Amino acid sequence: MSSVSGSDHVTKGYRQRLEEGRQAMAHLIHVWHERNGWSHKVLPALADALDLGRVHNSQISNLRNGKLSSPGPELFLALGQANAVLHQGVEPIHAHLAEVHPDLLRVLRDSAVPLLGVDGEPLGAGDFLEIFVGLGPLPPGFDWRIDAGEAAQLSAAMADSLCRGQAWRQCRDAVMEAYPVTKPQRRERFAEVMAGLREYSAEELDGEFLDLYATHLALEGNKGQTAEAFLGELRAAAQPG
């Protein structure tokens, strides 16, 4: 997975590379949790229930916040194995979790989206390690890097785009039907943003964007436009003047 060129080794010191890697990993873990609507307790609970490795809630929390500077190999092993399990789907582990951790099963049945690389395969322990030390890129769809300063304007541009300039009461049914998320909390938040009652934070937009893009495609039928191009359009529309 590594994509670091030889020139990067010359122009970047190891401290800078490690800092960039730690922040990239924080972004990845944060968005992964945001997309699934997970708390920081889900992955440790899954690792414990399936004996994938020892991961503490505090490790995931600190990883999400960019504060975990020296994790051991067991953390990356557990993340990789948990991701592989999620890629296989909940059904193979349904009976076991129903017996040992029914609350976790309910969470995963709501949402259990794995992290996939550019090849469509789940990220493994080595991929997580490469990202953490700054030697590997973030997977597709996790590198939007939406800035806190643009989140409110992008939220408004998104609402205008999905409603095609109509008032929310006129477009609500069509937009809500096109929005692919079934989790009630996320649907309620989406409706509030579309109605102009609140804005997404930068972290929320990072986590929501692929589903917002899917909503756009469902409404417009534009199969040729990439998610990156759609985000570019929103950024252009969000510019003042």
Q: pLDDT tens digit string along 21-33?
A: 898 898 899 889 9
Give domain status of residue 143, yes or no.
no
**Residue 141 included in any domain:** no
Q: Does some domain include residue 57?
A: yes
- 42 falls within a domain: yes
Question: Which two structure tokens, joined as six digits, stand for 120?
Answer: 């469509």
Query: Final residue of a domain: which of 106, 132, 158?
Result: 132
Report whether pLDDT(16) > 90.
no
Within a domain: residue 99? yes
Do the Cβ atoms of 46 and 92 come closer than 8 Å? Answer: no
**Last residue of a domain, which of 132, 158, 192?**
132
Pair 173, 122 in one domain: no
For residues 40 and 108, state if they share a domain.
yes
What range does the domain containing 231 cover?
Answer: 148-238
132, 163, 192 — which closes off a domain?
A: 132
Do 148 and 228 contact (CB within 8 A), yes or no?
no
* Beta-bridge partners for 122: 116
pLDDT at 114: 94
Position 139 in a domain: no
- 176 in the same domain as 66: no
User: Binning pLDDT at 50, 70 and 90, where does residue 223 land?
Assistant: low
Claim to verify: residue 182 and residue 106 sit in the same structural domain: no
Is residue 92 located within the same domain as residue 41? Answer: yes
Question: Using CA atoms, how far apart are residues 85 and 114, in angstroms rounded to an integer?
Answer: 9
* Residue 138 included in any domain: no
204 and 155 in a common domain: yes
Tokens of residue 46, six digits: 């899954």
Q: What is the pLDDT of residues 166-211, one digit of tens each?
A: 999 999 999 999 999 888 889 999 999 999 999 999 888 888 888 8
Kindly state whether residue 137 falls inside one of the protein's structural domains.
no
73 shares a domain with 180: no
Q: What is the 3-state secondary structure (H, E, C) of the chain?
A: CCCCCHHHHHHCCHHHHHHHHHHHHHHHHHHHHHHHCCCCCHHHHHHHHCCCCCCCHHHHHHHHCCCCCCCCHHHHHHHHHHHHHHHHCCHHHHHHHHHHCHHHHHHHHHCCCCCECCCCCECCHHHHHHHHCCCCCCCCCCCCCCCHHHHHHHHHHHHHHHCCCCCHHHHHHHHHHHCCCCCHHHHHHHHHHHCCCCCCCHHHHHHHHHHHHHHHHHHHCCCCCCHHHHHHHHHHHHCCC
Question: Are 113 and 182 in the same domain?
Answer: no
Residues 156 and 203 in one domain: yes
Whether residues 96 and 152 fall in one domain = no
Per-residue pLDDT, 29: 92
Please give the pLDDT value at position 188: 96
Q: What is the mean pLDDT of residues 9-23?
A: 77
* pLDDT on residue 239: 86
Number of domains comprising the chain: 2
Report residue 240's pLDDT band, with 50, 70 and 90 as the boundaries.
Answer: confident
- Bridge partners of 116, per DSSP, are 122
- pLDDT at 7 exceeding the cut of 60: no
102 shares a domain with 35: yes
∠ CA 187-178-90, nearest 5°, is 65
* Shared-domain flag, residues 103 and 220: no
pLDDT in tens, 149-163: 999 999 999 999 999
Predicted confidence (pLDDT) per residue in 103-161, tens digit = 999 999 998 999 999 898 999 999 999 999 999 988 877 767 788 899 999 999 999 99
